[in-house]
Amino acid sequence: MTERVVLAYSGGLDTSVAIGWIAERTGAEVIAVAVDVGQGGEDLEVIRQRALDCGAVEAYVADARDEFAEEYCMPALRANGLYLDRYPLVSAISRPIIVKHLVRAARQFDAQTVAHGCTGKGNDQVRFEVGITSLAPDLKCLAPVRDLALTREKAIAYAEQHKLPIATTKHNPFSIDQNVWGRAVETGFLEDIWNGPTKDVYSYTDDPTFPPVADEVVITFDQGIPVALDGVAVTPLQAIQEMNRRAGAQGVGRIDIVEDRLVGIKSREIYEAPGAMALIAAHQELENVTVEREQARFKRTVEQRWTELVYDGMWFSPLKKSLETFIDDTQRYVSGDIRMVLHGGRATVTGRRSEASLYDFNLATYDEGDSFDQSQARGFIEIFGLTAKLSAARDVKFGNGVDLTGADLPGAEA
């Protein structure tokens, strides 16, 4: 039986050429797999037919938008997943769902190898291959660009020579990856980190310099999941799409960052994630109201490690699953409403309410009705500061106390 290779297929030039390129260099039949995670563009049936026209023996297409929103975007939201505290894992969370469909197709079509279009210097090669072998250790992985020397120039020449039904151009300044959670842009003149992004870089967001009238939205959460906007019930996918539209119109979610890639290099990336950034900001504020202090402090550590694991391609790792168990438990009371104003590139929370709130007005107020017993504060401070007091006394005893005579003290003369 002829060996078969399942190829992650986008419908673009490189993966269209890769179908024939793989077949010629390995002798294998190619099954193209296209997964819709809300990236927009062409109809799935058009992409499927193009794969067949380019030489694929089978073409598997999947509308995975709801699955992506519910099983990948929502865990990222509940984890407040922001790599380097800024990047909302736009590409990182889309790879494992694509991997799942690639492995499913490999089983369905009896393929022994799974291929992807990544280069040898990015994060995605790791995300694909670690994900694939985590789900199916017996499968082999192939990267035509990295392993079979499929360069951009060769791809254009191959497409023209074989008259493939795909547009070819040598001038394409950016590398773009997008889905419903956001959009990532890199390469071209952006590789000079002194160059500012031009208007043509952006697609999901309007210029925040000249915003329309401010937009106020009320987001309702149930256990950390957005379930309604302005009182209208929504699915996770609908929540993201609507917040993309409304926050994007206000220029919310533009990110320009130099980030640390897993492979050891720094990379300049431009991201647009209006819905993701607005929803994360709202979710974080509702957690401030409903999650107990020590639990919240520890969750921030868990969030960072969860985010690093996902960024590094370890979505299916045991540690990530264990951390997610903790995160899920923290979301038990993260239910309620967040009022947010979207305007001029900012998503600003202006109101919070929750039946599970830990905010007690009578404890917090300084006005009449204050129920906080301030007489207990003195004893609390004595006990809380006792270890520091004892340590300071020991320092003084051995001549290591703080110098209070130095010229660096406030008001001291030079």
* pLDDT tens, position by position, 28-76: 999 999 999 999 877 889 999 999 999 999 999 999 999 999 999 999 9
- What residues have CB less than 8 Å from 76, skipping those under 6 apart? 88, 89, 93, 181, 276, 310
Let me know: does 89 contact 76? Beta carbons within 8 Å: yes
- Would 4-173 and 176-353 be classified into the same CATH topology? no
Distance CA 94, CA 68 (A): 7
pLDDT in tens, 391-405: 999 999 999 988 888
CATH superfamily assigned to domain 176-353: Argininosuccinate synthetase, chain A, domain 2 (3.90.1260.10)
Q: What is the pLDDT of residues 174-197, one digit of tens each?
A: 888 999 999 999 988 999 999 999
| Domain spans in the chain, listed from the N-terminal domain onward | 4-173, 176-353
Residue 30 — φ and ψ, nearest 5°?
-115, 130
- Residues tagged active-site: 14, 95, 124, 175
| Residue 410 pLDDT | 60
Residue numbering of the annotated binding site for L-aspartate: 119, 123-124
348-395: pLDDT as tens digits: 999 999 999 999 988 888 888 788 888 999 999 999 999 999 999 999
Q: Find, among 220, 232, 218, the residue nearest to 355 by Cα.
A: 220
User: What architecture is domain 4-173?
Assistant: 3-Layer(aba) Sandwich (3.40)
Provide the annotated binding site: 8-16, 87, 117, 119, 123-124, 127, 175, 259, 271
Q: Which residues are annotated as a binding site for ATP?
A: 8-16, 117
pLDDT, residue 42, reads: 79
- Would you say residue 258 has pLDDT above 90? yes
pTM: 0.93
Whether the predicted pLDDT of 413 surpasses 70: no
Binding-site residues from annotation for L-citrulline: 87, 123, 127, 175, 259, 271
